[in-house]
Amino acid sequence: DINNCNSAKEKKHLALMNINGFKNINIIYGTKSGDGVLKEISDRLRLYKEILKIYKLNFDEFALIFNDNKPMDDVEYHIKNINQLLIREYNIKENEILLSFTFGISGINENVLQNADLALKFAKQKKAVYLSFDDIKNEAINKIDNFIIVKKIREAILNDDIIPYFQPIYNNKSGKIDKYESLLRIKSENEI
């Protein structure tokens, strides 16, 4: 179980694996064919059962937990090999279909699923086969900070909690005010 890999001595890794465009298989060929593809993917993943535990998540995702305390370089090496094994053709109703996969990797910690999911989303955005949470941590934190700031600004606008300040800009030659610069401040809780 993913949540039971949390001891301080363990440095295991979780990789979330997404089958890109899998819903199209279900739409075009039907869910029975889609189930056959999922079984074949599971069979291929079982070739790695010595080094990882495999869990089926939602309809197009798997969780792969590496059994040993492997450094990230080893995990990435295995992800590359797993990807090479999985991107071979799949036969569906006499058609050979090529699939692609995206992986998000995180060390096992209290936010393992969230971190691996973020890494997976970033990998999809960047069209990378895999990314680890360590690769995108700073970028993810910046995005979260930006969401918080945008939320605060939106709330301030809706609650009419913005105070405008106008600062004159003087013309150095004439000594007169040419224009004004407008600055905005969000009211603090003390001012409300």
**Is residue 93 a contact partner of residue 34, using CB atoms and an 8 Å limit?**
no
pLDDT at 138 (0 to 100) = 63
Edge-to-edge strand order for the sheet containing 61-66?
A: 52-56, 61-66, 13-19, 101-107, 130-132
pLDDT at 174 (0 to 100) = 92
Q: What is the mean pLDDT of each run of 10 residues along the chain (192 residues)?
A: 46 92 91 92 94 91 88 91 93 89 89 89 92 76 68 86 88 91 79 50
The dihedral through the CA atoms of 39, 22, 79, 113 has a sign that is: negative
pLDDT at 8 (0 to 100) = 38
